[in-house]
Amino acid sequence: MLKSLLIHNIAVIESAEPTFSEGFNTLTGETGAGKSIIVDSINAILGQRTSKDIIRTGCDKAVVVAVFDEVSKAAKALFSKYDIEADQGQYIVQRVLTASGKNTCRVNGVPLNTTALKEIGRGLITIHGQHDNQLLLSPENHGKYLDAFAENEALLSDYKASFDEFRAVRKRLNELVKLQNEAKQNEELLRYQVKELSDADVKPGEVDLLKDRIHVLENAEKIESAYRELCGVVGGDSDASVNTALGEAAAALSKISDVDKTADGLYERILAAQLELSAICADAKDQLEQIGNHREELENLQTRLDNLYTLMRKYGNSEQALLRYLQHASEQLDGFKTNDEEKRLSEQKLLALQGELIQKAAALSDSRKRASKKLSKGITEVLQFLDMPNVQFSVKIDEGSYTAFGTDRVEFLISTNKGQAVMPLHKIASGGELSRIMLAIKSVLADKDPVDTLIFDEIDTGISGRAARKLGIQLKRVSRLRQVLCITHLPQIAALSDYHLLITKQSANDKTYTSVKALSGDDRIREIARMMSGGELTENLYNTAKELIETEAAEFIN
């Protein structure tokens, strides 16, 4: 439970250290005194979003410290999740807010972010304000109360896990179907493209080789003429050929070889030259033979090059680009086969998950239907006690489509007048009735909710007279199961409290200060009297307030 608060520089509170007791705590004070600041401070240590505007004017930072003890097993589990151990049975939660917007959160000295603090806070305190009354007007919230009463957390968690998996598989299956439809449109084209590129048998560097060879063949006639002329000049049989001239020179030297020894060397050199020229002529003739069919080859090579250029215009600007396109297209075709198999497996899995989902939704629905009767009975009994004697309350459960909540559409129905049929709550409930309905729900949930502390912020809106006293009695009953803090304007409720705090506001030196004081004895009687009249305190009023406190203390029955 919440044992104490330390508040520094929050709004008009410069410093306050309110303490709380187990049982029924009330906080009272005139309108604008700062009661809501206490709730804002508690929200801060619960990890809720805060604004730097909450920091007292002229201050650089604000601090809120809360001390909890005797926390539930569920709360201890949340602390343990973040490796936080109790310090002499207590947990000290601190939050520092700065004007720069920076927040610092610690629990027993262990630093936490606000997300972790918020998770822990949900296990410590539940705050119910006027806004929560409005939540009752939205049927989508009714199922949450029913599940809390039915203790469906495990069933709902199990169902949601299957539902999320079902949605994920269904989404993937839809994607595969879409891909398959696209594949049917593209598969024929891809097959044609793969065949065209595969048949082309493209090789890296082929274009450059073709261009070089074509360049040679395009000049074949000029090359052929040159080689023929070379053969004619070097190795021909005409009188003008070099070979003939060398033969004549060799014959001339042979005539003087017996008288001139130098002639022998020259003769040998001429013979060697003739051999070299013969080799040159043979090579030239080989080239002539290769060039011989140049027209047919040139045609073929130009056709091949034209084909490659055509492919490049369609698929890429190089042989490498063509090969990459072929690989990608082939992979796409293989992917179609993979998608077909994945689609088949996904369909099987979806069918199995659908069966699980149907079973889990049915189990969840059965639990809700069983709990709805008990919840209706419990809420009806509390509402009848809260001065609504002719009330009829029921829980309507209709079957709908599958959602994260299940297949049930839950809605609260109520009739507040005798002879009137039950109708949707949001159509007929007044403000005061909403407050009592919410208290009735909280009352029947009190022994289900693991949270130790319940805070009711002006739950008495729209209530007065006898109904107010009944409301106070019911709050006190709830406080036997949980610590209850109630901010109230009604003396009938405050008179029933076990511990009474007064919030007051004063001005001094052009500044406003709010203080929190625990009341007892005469001080408490005077505050109850003020709440009863709002005017000047008279002896009769004082005695009436005293009698109210004494009567409630004496007459309250467990």
Mean pLDDT in consecutive groups of 10 residues from the start of the chain, 558 residues: 94 91 92 84 91 88 94 90 92 93 91 93 86 80 92 94 94 83 73 88 91 81 75 63 73 72 77 79 76 75 90 90 88 70 84 93 96 94 90 93 94 90 84 83 82 86 81 90 92 93 85 87 92 82 89 65
37 in any annotated domain: yes
CA 24-27-33 angle, to 5 degrees, is 175
Characterize the bridge pairing of strands 125-128 and 453-457: parallel
pLDDT value at residue 558: 45
Give residue 513's region: left, alpha or beta (phi > 0; psi -120 to 50).
Answer: beta
Q: Are 192 and 302 in the same domain?
A: yes
pLDDT value at residue 352: 92
Q: Are 192 and 88 in the same domain?
A: no
Alpha helices in 8-152 (DSSP H): 35-45, 73-81, 114-122, 130-135, 142-150
- 220 close to 294: Cβ distance less than 8 angstroms: yes
Q: Are 223 and 318 in the same domain?
A: yes
pLDDT value at residue 130: 67
Residues in the chain: 558
Structure tokens at 136: 């009752």
For residue 332, count CB atoms less than 10 angstroms from its CB and return exposed for 0-12, middle for 13-18, buried for 19 or more. middle
pLDDT value at residue 229: 75
65 in any annotated domain: yes
Angle between helices 294-315 and 206-218 (to 10 degrees): 150
Phi, psi of 334 (to 5 degrees): -65, -35
Distance CA 423, CA 415 (A): 6
Q: CATH number for the domain including 24?
A: 3.40.50.300
pLDDT value at residue 458: 76
- 450 close to 77: Cβ distance less than 8 angstroms: no
399 in any annotated domain: no
- 7 close to 1: Cβ distance less than 8 angstroms: no
- 322 close to 316: Cβ distance less than 8 angstroms: yes
- 494 close to 528: Cβ distance less than 8 angstroms: yes
Q: Are 242 and 303 in the same domain?
A: yes
73 in any annotated domain: yes
Q: Are 116 and 187 in the same domain?
A: no
Q: Are 100 and 211 in the same domain?
A: no
Domain boundary among 313, 334, 355: 334
Q: Are 122 and 193 in the same domain?
A: no
pLDDT value at residue 443: 87
If one counts the domains in the chain, the total is: 2
Q: If you search the block for the tokens 């709380």, which residue do you land on?
A: 20
Q: Are 15 and 127 in the same domain?
A: yes
Distance CA 236, CA 241 (A): 6
CA 503-505-511 angle, to 5 degrees, is 145
Upper half-sphere CA count for residue 423 (Cβ side, 13 Å): 11
149 in any annotated domain: no
Q: Are 128 and 205 in the same domain?
A: no
Q: Are 325 and 189 in the same domain?
A: yes
Q: Are 458 and 323 in the same domain?
A: no
Domain encompassing residue 91? 1-135+450-519
What DSSP element (H or E) covers 90?
A: strand 90-98
Domain boundary among 280, 307, 334: 334
Query: Strand, coil or helix: what is 177?
Result: helix
- 494 close to 530: Cβ distance less than 8 angstroms: no
Domain boundary among 334, 356, 373: 334
Contacts of 445 (CB under 8 A, 6+ apart): 145, 148, 149
C-alpha dist (Å) from residue 463 to 30, 206, 386: 18, 94, 10
Q: Are 126 and 251 in the same domain?
A: no
